[in-house]
Chain A
Amino acid sequence: MKKIFNPKSIVLIGASDEKNTVGFGLADNLLKGKSKIFFVNPFKKEILGEDCFKSVSEIKEKIDLALIAVPQKVVKGVVKECCAKKVGAMIIVSSGFKESGNTKEEEEIVEMVKKAKIPLIGPNCLGIINPSIGLNASFAPLTPKAGNIAFLSQSGALLDSVLGMSEDEDMGFSKVVSYGNEADLGLIDFLDYLKDDPETKVIVVYFEGLKDGRKFMETAREVVKSKPIVMIKSGRTEKGKSAVATHTGTLAGDYDTYIAAMKQCGVILVDTMEELFDSAKALAFLPRMDNGIGIVTNGGGLGVLTVDYCAEIGIQVPDLSNATLSLLEKKKEMGKVPVKRNPLDLIGDALADRYGAGMDILLRQKDVNGLIVISTPQIMTEHEKNARMIVEMKEKYPLKPIICCFLGGPLVSSAVKILEDNDIPNYPDVLRAVKSIKSLIK
Chain B
Amino acid sequence: MEILSFEETRRLLLKYKLPFCRTEIFNSKDKASVFAEKIGFPVVLKIHAQKIFHKSEIGGVVTNIRNREEFEKAWDGIEKNIRGKNIEGMLVQEMRGGSEIALGMKRDPQFGPVLLFGLGGIFIEIIKDVSLRVAPISREEALAMIKETKGAKILEGARGRKKADLEIIADMLVNLSNLSIKEDKIQSIDFNPVMVEGDKACIADFRIIV
Using a CB–CB cutoff of 8 Å, the interface residues on chain A facing chain B are: 209-210, 212-214, 217, 240, 242, 245-249, 251-252, 254, 256-261, 264
Contacts and interface: CB of A to CB of B under 8 A. Distances in A.
Interface stretch (B14-22, B85-93, B183-191): B183-191
Contacts of A209: 110
Given A242-B188, A246-B207, A251 B108 contact: no
A247 B104 contact: yes
Interface in B17-34: none
A209 B53 CA distance: 30
Contacts of B141: 264
A252 B130 CA distance: 9
B110 A251 contact: no
Contact of A248 (B53, B105, B134): B105
A428 B110 CA distance: 38
B98 interface: no
Contacts of A264: 133-134, 141
B114 interface: yes
Given A213-B108, A242-B106, A247 B114 contact: no
Contacts of A246: 53, 104, 106, 188, 190, 207, 209
Contacts of B187: 242
A212 B109 CA distance: 9
B188 A260 contact: no
A246 B114 CA distance: 13
Given A240-B106, A242-B106, A264-B133, A257 B188 contact: no
Contact of A260 (B118, B124, B131, B192): B131
Given A251-B128, A257-B132, A210 B106 contact: no
B50 to A, nearest CB: 12
Given A247-B192, A251-B116, A210 B209 contact: no
Given A245-B1, A245-B53, A260 B112 contact: no
Contacts of A252: 104, 106, 108, 114, 116, 130, 132
B190 A260 contact: no
A264 B140 CA distance: 12
Residue with the greatest number of chain B CB neighbours at <10 A, chosen from A209, A217, A242, A258:
A242
B193 to A, nearest CB: 11
Contacts of B110: 209-210, 212-214, 254, 257-258, 261
Contacts of B53: 245-246
Contacts of B118: 251
A251 B134 contact: no
16 contacts: A213-B110, A240-B106, A240-B108, A246-B53, A246-B209, A248-B104, A248-B105, A248-B116, A248-B190, A251-B104, A251-B118, A251-B124, A252-B132, A257-B110, A257-B132, A259-B132
Contacts of A245: 1, 53, 188, 209
Of B53, B102, B110, B133, the most chain A CB neighbours within 10 A belong to: B110
B177 to A, nearest CB: 12
Q: Which of A209, A213, A257 counts the most chain B CB atoms within 10 A?
A: A257
B194 to A, nearest CB: 13
Interface in B175-210: 187-190, 192, 207, 209
A350 B209 CA distance: 66
A214 B209 CA distance: 22
Nearest to B145: A260
Contacts of B132: 252, 256-257, 259-260
B134 A260 contact: yes
Contacts of A212: 110
Contacts of B1: 245
Contacts of B124: 247, 251
A210 B109 CA distance: 10
Contacts of A247: 102, 104, 116, 124, 190, 192
A213 B111 contact: yes
B112 A214 contact: yes
A240 B188 CA distance: 13
A340 B133 CA distance: 42
